Amino acid sequence: MKRLLFISLIMLAVVSCKDDAGIDLQQQESSPVVAEVGDRKIYESDIDFEIMSLPETMRYIMQDDAARGQVLAVMIKREVVAQKARKMGLNLDPLIAYRMRKADDEVLIQGVRDWQHGDMQQATDAEIKAYYKKHQADFIIPKQIHARHILVADKQTAIELLKQIKANSENFPTLAAQFSIDDSTKGRGGDLNWFAKGDMVDAFATAVFKLSEKHPLSAPIKTKFGWHIVQWLGEREQQTPTFEDVKVEIQSILEKNKMKAWITSLMNDADVVVLKAEYVQ
């Protein structure tokens, strides 16, 4: 039934898109005109569509006349500028014309993906459990360390900083802010947040994962980035999520796999010829 309705809507769109006047006449019969910009009419339903394109959390304004008026004002301004662009002939510029076609395609692609997603059979609990059993290792969260570091360019500077930290470890964030050349972390006292061993370069990870509550400070560590002083702040042991923990995630994975398979089937059935041999994949 859904596919029949979809085909009917496409046929209706083809018939109604024979010319702009046909579109306006059909839309006018079902929705009142609320504004005119030159020869372009803006309908009440256009405001509805505009609001439906907003994030779901903002769609509550659908019944708010003042908010609808603000949306209309934005639409009018957009139409004024677009008409100016057409009068300038910018729609005939090859690059702009390509971008317009691309924008049309992207809207259509998202529309057909949404339709296909709604038409797909949802993954059953049995399918989700089977995936979890087969891929359980993929969901394991490895041991993680929470640490902060100071990165400097030379070993001697690292040694001097390490002496100051050993004298008073509470100075670490201040020294990181003052001396670290890692701009991405110095503003938060060198905090690296939580990370797994595989997230870091080998030399750094090997040294840091030997630290502990009893031995929280590292000797200077050399990597391709420079010299690091690291302070251990905590650790989390490896965790294996339960089925319920990852059920929603697995359902999303299975849906993406089904969508990917559907797109692959479309590609296999499509009549595609690449005419330049160098571009053949």
Backbone angles phi, psi at 153, to 5 degrees: -85, -25
Per-residue b or e along 103-114, where b marks 16 or more CB atoms closer than 10 Å to that residue's CB? eeeeeeeeeeee
Write the pLDDT tens digit of every residue in 163-189: 999 999 999 999 999 999 999 999 999
Q: What fold characterizes domain 141-236?
A: Chitinase A; domain 3 (3.10.50)
Tokens linked to 244: 């319920």
Give, in order, the Cα–Cα distances in Å from 32 to each of 27, 35, 113, 250. Answer: 8, 9, 31, 46
- Which residue ranges make up each domain of the chain? 17-92, 125-137+240-279, 141-236
- Residue 25: band (very low, low, confident or very high) from pLDDT cuts 50, 70, 90: low
Give, in order, the Cα–Cα distances in Å from 14 to each of 7, 30, 63, 104. Answer: 11, 18, 31, 15
> Would you state the pLDDT for residue 30?
83
Write the pLDDT tens digit of every residue in 214-253: 999 999 999 999 999 999 999 999 999 999 999 999 999 9
Cα-to-chain-centroid distance, residue 67: 28
